[in-house]
Amino acid sequence: GQRDQALRNQSLSLSFLSEQSASRGNTEAAILLALEALSSKDQPKRPYLFEAETALYKALLAHRQIKIFRHGAGVTDAAFNPAGDRIVTASHDKTAAVWDISSGAETVVLKGHEEALERAEFSPDGSRILTAARDGTARLWEATSGEQLFILRPVSNYPTAIFSPDGTRVLTAGENSDATLWDARTGKKVLGVRSDAYTRAAFSSDGRSFATAGRHFVSIWNSADGALTRSIRVTSWPYSLAFSPDGSRMLAGPWGWHSHRDTSSLFDVSKGTEIAKLAGSKSDTQLNGVIFGHGGQRIATVSLDGTARIWDGVLGTLDDVLGQEVSGLKADIDTD
């Protein structure tokens, strides 16, 4: 019946989120999400799904492989390489480090930044690493040797730096600075755009557009010439940005410290209009991340109160709420 189909669809969504969490190292959340997708004495009518059992197996296997990677100060960011066998971490100790997942060994230390790091990620092909720090620079490194390739400056405080989907360009932004596109192969500036104070940035999946989030606007730019194609006014400072896989919609989540609201917005990119507000249950809860699911048909929002909400990715209607148990889940705003 309809109820069985609804439970099946819910279990499929939970299984997918479990596998996403496991792939990003959030194994405790992955296990709990997979268990929620399976039939139990509390949910005896939930249908059995092979996908849910597989997700649980993968989560348990990943959980057994957890390692502890230590820096001399707090870790601010971490990202897997595309193969999933290495992880790069960024730290307040002014370094980034590459670690072997299976052994836990530190294989490369990236030294050169003069202030705390805020960001580190692998290129889409895994051959390079991009870092950004409070010293006003972003830097490109060879992932295996740790050789510093290029210094990209200036980038102001609380910088963001991301690779384009094809890895040929880098986008940097920060408070009170231009958002700048760089050639990742030469380290040369391609173009810069200036508007509001930027805190977050995101590429569309085809790389033809990029978005910047500022104090009052989300701005969408043409990656080829830097032309402003759309400016969307927002009522709070977005902390998280994500394009839908087809680039037609955008999620913007508020900066919790400024807005004090557990609310994100789903926008139509071509029209610049808000489709729906994705609101939590508490007015004082801070949003931690937003992400589109596979194909863009589902959205997950994660809050600092430990709840995750699953939404319809087209209409913005609420489908499900996952409770306090998933507090370890963190949404990745740069990938699908």
The closest alpha carbon to 216, from 252, 249, 269, belongs to 252
Same domain? For 49 and 21 the reply is: yes
- Classify residue 331: in a domain, yes or no: no
Same domain? For 123 and 178 the reply is: yes
Beta bridge partners of 133: 117
Q: What integer pLDDT is reported at residue 124 of this predicted model?
A: 95
Instruction: Report which of residues 334 and 275 the model is more confident about.
Output: 275
- Classify residue 333: in a domain, yes or no: no
Same domain? For 98 and 61 the reply is: no
Q: Mean of the per-residue pLDDT values for the chain?
A: 81
For the cut 70, the answer to whether the pLDDT of residue 134 exceeds it is: yes
At 94, list the tokens.
């002014």
| Mean pLDDT computed over 91-99 | 93
Q: What integer pLDDT is reported at residue 162 of this predicted model?
A: 94
- Classify residue 186: in a domain, yes or no: yes
Range of the domain at 115: 72-326
For the cut 70, the answer to whether the pLDDT of residue 333 exceeds it is: no
pLDDT tens-digit profile of 221-262?
Answer: 999 999 999 988 887 777 778 899 999 999 887 654 444 455
Same domain? For 45 and 88 the reply is: no
Q: Is the peptide bond before 165 cis (omega within 30 degrees of 0)?
A: no
- What's the CA gap between 177 and 293, in Å, rounded? 31
Same domain? For 113 and 134 the reply is: yes
- What's the CA gap between 247 and 285, in Å, rounded? 28
pLDDT tens-digit profile of 7-61?
Answer: 888 888 888 888 888 877 777 778 878 888 887 656 677 777 778 878 887 777 6
pLDDT tens-digit profile of 136-170?
Answer: 899 999 999 999 999 998 777 778 899 999 999 99
Rg over CA atoms, the chain: 20
Q: What integer pLDDT is reported at residue 88 of this predicted model?
A: 93
Last residue in a domain, options 29, 51, 66: 66
Same domain? For 32 and 127 the reply is: no
pLDDT tens-digit profile of 50-67?
Answer: 788 788 877 776 665 556
Total domains, the chain: 2
pTM for this one?
Answer: 0.72
Same domain? For 80 and 9 the reply is: no
| Mean pLDDT computed over 294-318 | 77
Q: What integer pLDDT is reported at residue 252 of this predicted model?
A: 85
Same domain? For 7 and 113 the reply is: no
Last residue in a domain, options 40, 66, 92: 66
Residues 192 and 150 sit within 8 Å (Cβ to Cβ): no
Last residue in a domain, options 66, 94, 112: 66
